[in-house]
Amino acid sequence: MYRDWIEILNSCILFGGIGNESLGVMLDCLKPRINKIKQQEIIAAYGQPFQGIGIIASGKVALTKETYSGNRIMIGILDAGDIFGEIVAFSDSKVWPMTVIAQEDGILLFLPPEKITGTCSNICASHSALIMNMLKILSNRASMLDKKIEHISAKNIRGKISSYLLDISQNQNSNTITIPMKRHEMADYLNIPRPSLSREMGLMRDQGVIEFEGSFINIKDISVLEKSIR
C-alpha cells in the first residue's frame, strides 16, 4: 500500500539515508495513516488533539497561527517531502499549536511519534537513521522560526521585505530569486497588509532596488536591502 510513495518519501529528510527496500519494510512496520486532502481543507486546527506527525506525499500545506484579534499569520509553506507536527510530537502538549491548511489537493501520511522513538527489531539500522533525521528536522525547524522572527522584527515594511529577500537570495545563492510563496502568502508570512506589501515593492522597483515579474525577483542593489534592515 505504501510502495506507491517510496520515491517521494525518499526525498523527505525524515527518511534520508534509508534505501528503497529498507524504507518499504519500515513503512509496513510503522503503518502511517493515509489522508487525501482537498485545497483549502483545514487539516488540523489550533487546539485540536494532536493526530501525529504529518508527512506530505503530494500537494502543499500552509502552517498558520491565529492572533487574539482573529488575524491569521502565515508561519510557512510546506511542499511534498516536508513534514509538520514534529515539534508538538515530542513536547508535553498534545494539541496542535497551529492550524494547517491544504494549499493544493494531495496526500498526507500521519505517523504516530511513538513509532519513531520506539524500537523495532526488523529495522534497527534504519530506525537509528530515522531518529537522527528527526533531530536534524527539529534543528532546522528551530532555525526557520528564528528566521521568521528576524524578518517580522524589522523596524518597518521595507525592512521586513529586505530581510526576507536577502534570506532567499542567500539560500538560492543568487541575486535572481524565485519566491516560494504567492504574493498574498508572502504578505501573511511577513505580517504585512497585502496592499502595503505591493505598494512598497512597487516603490523599491521604481527606485531601482529590485525588478520583479510574478514570483521572479531580480535584486539590482543588494546594498540598499542590507541598509534597510540595520
Q: Are residues 159 and 220 in the same domain?
A: yes
Closest among 215, 212, 208 to 225, alpha carbons compared: 208
Q: Looking at the domain assignment, is residue 74 inside a domain?
A: yes
Angle at 49 between CA 43 and CA 52, to 5 degrees: 65
- pLDDT in the model for residue 94: 83
Report the predicted TM-score, pTM, of the whole model to 2 decimal places.
Answer: 0.68
Q: Are residues 161 and 140 in the same domain?
A: no
User: DSSP readout, the chain?
Assistant: --GGGHHHHHTSGGGTT--HHHHHHHHHHH-PEEEEE-TT-EEE-TTSBP--EEEEEESEEEEEEE-TTS-EEEEEEEETT-EE-HHHHTSS--B-SSEEEESSSEEEEEE-THHHHS--TTSHHHHHHHHHHHHHHHHHHHHHHHHHHHHHTSSSHHHHHHHHHHHHHHHHTSSEEE-SS-HHHHHHHTT--HHHHHHHHHHHHHTTSEEEETTEEEES-HHHHHHHT-
- Which three three-digit cell numbers place residue 224? 540598499
Query: Mean pLDDT in each 10-residue stretch from start to end of the chain (230 residues)?
Result: 73 80 79 90 91 89 80 83 85 86 92 70 66 82 82 91 93 91 87 92 94 92 89
Q: Looking at the domain assignment, is residue 149 inside a domain?
A: no
Out of 144, 178, 208, a domain closes at 144
Out of 118, 144, 170, a domain closes at 144
CATH number, domain with residue 168? 1.10.10.10
- pLDDT in the model for residue 209: 94
- pLDDT in the model for residue 125: 65
Q: Are residues 105 and 162 in the same domain?
A: no
Domain ranges, residue 221: 154-228
Q: Are residues 126 and 160 in the same domain?
A: no
Q: Are residues 135 and 161 in the same domain?
A: no
d(CA 85, CA 120): 22
Q: Are residues 113 and 49 in the same domain?
A: yes
Work out how many domains the chain is built from and give that number.
2
- pLDDT in the model for residue 75: 83
The per-residue pLDDT for range 206-222, each reduced to its tens digit, is 999 999 988 899 999 99
- pLDDT in the model for residue 124: 56
d(CA 136, CA 150): 21
Q: Are residues 133 and 162 in the same domain?
A: no
Strand partners, 219: 210
Q: Are residues 18 and 132 in the same domain?
A: yes
